[in-house]
Structure 1
Amino acid sequence: MAEVERQERRRIDPANCSMGRALSVVGERWSLLIVREALDGASRFGEFRARLGIASNLLSTRLDGLVGAGVLRRVAYQEPGDRQRFEYRLTAKGRDLRPTVIALLAWGDKYLADEEGPSVVVRHGTAGDHDCDEPVALVLECAAGHSHLTPDAVYRSPGPGARFLPA
């Protein structure tokens, strides 16, 4: 036990951080907004540009980065009489960003929404008979099943890949 406590007091090297790596992929404003729009069904360059009001050169750069990171994949398509173009579809890695997008939206709704309230509400709805249409909330839960943890009830500890700074 003393060895574990000693390691926990040591400072973990911040360069070896999954959060930092994630932010290098989606930490820029436009990247997460593109993911948000893809989660809402956008897949073509013109759709992203129209929905976001983003400059074409910036959109191209961000789409290339998200494809390079494996968040989106390019799928060729061709309209009759037109040149080949690409759609951008979410990969499993991209779809797994939905809780992140919902968490940022919830934080923004709580602290930054207009007086009238949030502009959108995320609701539960799936194809088939499972639509309930109720608002969605993210919940912190531990591996033992304790749910609805408060932010103050959690802490970071060294993981198996932790690298420590010299003492």
Structure 2
Amino acid sequence: MPSAAATDQGVSETMTGPQTTCPIAASLELLGEKWTLLILRDIHRGICRFSDLEESLGCPRSVLSARLRKLVEHDILRAEPYREPGRRQRHAYTLSTKGRNLALVLAALQQWGLKHLPDVAPIAPEPVHLGCGSPVEARLSCRRGHHVEADAVGLPECS
């Protein structure tokens, strides 16, 4: 069922037609809902229990639960059971390979936000290379290894 905001603007909540074969549109279908990338940001930072995610994000419980379930269903996250003494079994969320591969997307969004949104301050330090500790930068390169500036990138039409 479309959200109220989507319905108010006359936009369907899910994409149809040629958009469904576009990798950007398909990625947004999975990752573009409010809170999803912030959940992934926090899990990349090591916040992996539901209660800790809820506290960090301020996200409604029902929304957080739905987003986590969707990310697990699409093998971006894994739900790992754990039990604290005297408590019921719960889940900690860890990144699958697909989830770890989103590090580039998160780094690029953080880098873009710091550069182009002057009132934004990072809530966490820049991502760093675990091997040497140096800050990581998201960069474009072609398959031959050449550095490519953003204005030299062409995105072909999706078919």
Residues 100-125 of structure 1: per-residue CA shift (max 9 Å, x gap): 0011111111121428x544442434
- Supply the distance in 2 between the matched residues of 1:31 and 1:157 (Cα, whole angstroms): 27
TM-score by length of 2: 0.81
Aligned length: 142
- Supply the distance in 2 between the matched residues of 1:50 and 1:82 (Cα, whole angstroms): 19
What is the aligned partner in structure 2 of residue 58 from structure 1? Answer: 63
Check 1:119–1:113 CA distance in 2 against 1; reply closer, same or farther (3 A cut).
Answer: farther
- Supply the distance in 2 between the matched residues of 1:81 and 1:118 (Cα, whole angstroms): 38
Counterparts in 2 of 1:125-140, with a 5 A limit? Answer: 125-126=129-130, 130-131=131-132, 133-140=133-140
CA contact (8 A) 2:81 2:91 kept: yes
Residues 11-54 of structure 1: per-residue CA shift (max 9 Å, x gap): xx433111111111111230000000000001110110011111
TM-score by length of 1: 0.77
Check 1:105–1:123 CA distance in 2 against 1; reply closer, same or farther (3 A cut).
Answer: closer
Q: Which has the higher contact order (CA 8 A, sep 6+)?
A: 1
State the AA in 1 paired with 2:53: F
What is the aligned partner in structure 2 of residue 28 from structure 1? Answer: 33
Gaps of 5+ in 1: 1-12
CA RMSD in angstroms comes to: 1.9
Counterparts in 2 of 1:1-167, with a 5 A limit? Answer: 13-114=18-119, 118-126=122-130, 130-131=131-132, 133-147=133-147, 149-157=148-156, 163=159
Paired residue secondary structure (1:136)? coil
Check 1:142–1:120 CA distance in 2 against 1; reply closer, same or farther (3 A cut).
Answer: same
Check 1:67–1:123 CA distance in 2 against 1; reply closer, same or farther (3 A cut).
Answer: closer
Gaps of 5+ in 2: 1-17
Greater Rg over alpha carbons, structure: 1
Runs of 4+ residues over 6 Å off in structure 1: none
